[in-house]
Amino acid sequence: MADYFPEVTKIIFEGRDSKNPLAFKWYNPTQSVLGKSMEEHLRFAVAYWHTLKNQGGDPFGEGTMDRAWNGFSDPMDRARATCDAAFEFVSKLGVSYYCFHDRDLAPEGASFSESCDNLEQMVTHAADLQKQTGIKLLWGTANLFSNPRYAHGAGTNPDFHVFAYAAAQVKHAMSATRELGGENYVFWGGREGYETLLNTRLKQEQDQMAAFFSMCVDYAKEIGFTGQFLIEPKPKEPTKHQYDFDSATILNFLQTYDLIDHFKLNIEANHATLAGHTFEHELTVAAAAGKLGSMDVNRGDPLLGWDTDQFPTDLYSAVYAMLEVLSAGGLGSGGMNFDAKVRRASFEPIDLFYAHIGGMDAFARGLVIAANIIEDGFLEDFKEQRYQSWADGGAAVLAGQSSLDTCEEYIKTHGEPVVPSGRQEYLENILNTFI
Ligand code: XLS
Ligand code: NI
Ligand code: NI
């Protein structure tokens, strides 16, 4: 095992009274909640790109991060050191999963085939470390947005040549994910969108994207990749308008192109808020369609209009999210990936531990609170009562056995409806008693 974090041994659960900043106060992996362990409920994953690769640069200044594993001039030496640091970090944190883009794991080479070789070498390296540590791959994905060739998009590129490049790259990223036993494969279309309609054929680009996905479905079958395909909605950034805007948009796209059976959604908190939704809204829309696959847990800043990717420490948001996850019956093969980065001024390696510990504790606590709320049943009871008339008079309508005529008959017999209060404040007050 590498030794990039000498000041940390292993993060353990010490309970809420502990003053140790390098211990969990709430996340106790073996604690049972509604009949399942916390570890099974939460399925945390570390995001390779932010935690290992992010240098802390912003448009106004260069990187600030103190990362010893970057101190190698040869790109493949650096990639191996980074991978070693990743597995040391994830092991010490006590998390079972990690996630990567192909280009996080291995650098792009001078040619396509050199890039593929690099990736293949790093897959072997990571497979070894997975074996040694028991750490698993939650999902893999391809970076189809950083290289300048993708300036006009990947699957939605106006040039078929670039489209083919992206497809070939995904082929290898998917194979790498399969070789490493990845439980899911994610598509996030960073540049699948447009800046101006003056140069864009929207319908053509959407047709291309559908063709791209459908080739991916075929390839997964061909290589026997049985992991879940996930699409991650985001409305904007880097492009002005992205085709995978939000859950509802993606569900419609998948229906339109007859791809719905092959995909679920990976919902990211900060992307939800960029789309003008709450995290729980996006989770609920996905779950309502039976398509809640996984989550990128982070948070935005309400004062900033971009993907700040902060660590999720907002307890309310965690409670609302866990209510949805529990109601949906869990995340299946999905998990909770910390698609989050430490702030530019939090540049010490130890800050990576504080950040993840805080996020894990917030969701562990959110899970316990959500479970208490569900066990108490006050929300469900309230909703049951609120929709009661649909079990009575409305049942025939839902069964498709009514008409506008029968509704008119109903009104003639029953007259003016009695409208009850929504009781929002009352419910919020009860919710607070659980927090
Ligand atoms: C960027 C996305 C990205 C995906 C993976 O905003 O969140 O990190 O999760 O490509
Ligand atoms: Ni993400
Ligand atoms: Ni994001």
Tell me, yes or no, whether 42 and 157 share the same domain. yes
**Which of 376, 397, 426 delimits the end of a domain?**
376
Residue nearest to atom 7 of ligand 1 (CA): 339
- Catalytic status, residue 125: no
- Catalytic status, residue 104: yes
Q: Cβ atoms within 10 A of the Cβ of 176, count? A: 25
pLDDT at res. 1: 81
Report, as an integer, the average pLDDT of 262-279.
98
Q: Could you say which ligand is closest to the alpha carbon of residue 309?
A: 3
Q: Which amino acid is at 43?
A: R
Tell me, yes or no, whether 392 and 370 share the same domain. no
Could you report the per-residue pLDDT of 105-158, keeping only the tens digit for each?
Answer: 999 999 999 999 999 999 999 999 999 999 999 999 999 999 999 999 999 999
Smallest Cα–Cα separation from 81: which of 50, 138, 135, 122? 122
CATH number at residue 299: 3.20.20.150
Tell me, yes or no, whether 136 and 254 share the same domain. yes
Tell me, yes or no, whether 184 and 199 share the same domain. yes
Residue 192 contacts by C-beta under 8 Å, 6 or more apart in sequence?
153, 154, 155, 156, 205, 209, 239, 242, 243, 244
Residue nearest to atom 3 of ligand 1 (CA): 188
Please state the domain count of the chain.
2
CA–CA gap between residue 153 and residue 155 (Å, rounded): 6
- The CA 338 to ligand 1 mean position distance, Å, reads 10
Strand, helix or coil for residue 47: strand
Q: Could you say which ligand is closest to the alpha carbon of residue 273?
A: 3
Q: Provide Rg for the chain, Cα atoms.
A: 23
106 falls within a domain: yes
Residue nearest to atom 5 of ligand 1 (CA): 188
Tell me, yes or no, whether 48 and 163 share the same domain. yes
Q: Could you say which ligand is closest to the alpha carbon of residue 270?
A: 3
Q: Which amino acid is at 26?
A: W
Over 90: is that where the pLDDT of 54 sits? yes
| Ligand 1 site, residue 191, Cβ cutoff 6 A | no
40 falls within a domain: yes
Tell me, yes or no, whether 257 and 396 share the same domain. no
Over 90: is that where the pLDDT of 393 sits? no
Annotated catalytic residue within 41, 50, 101, 281: 101
Tell me, yes or no, whether 112 and 137 share the same domain. yes
Mean pLDDT of the chain: 98
Tell me, yes or no, whether 306 and 389 share the same domain. no
Could you report the per-residue pLDDT of 24-41, keeping only the tens digit for each?
Answer: 999 999 999 999 999 999
Domain containing 293 equals 32-376
Annotated catalytic residue within 50, 102, 104, 281: 104
Report, as an integer, the average pLDDT of 398-410.
96
CA–CA gap between residue 412 and residue 198 (Å, rounded): 55
- The CA 284 to ligand 1 mean position distance, Å, reads 20
Tell me, yes or no, whether 187 and 335 share the same domain. yes
Residue nearest to atom 2 of ligand 1 (CA): 188
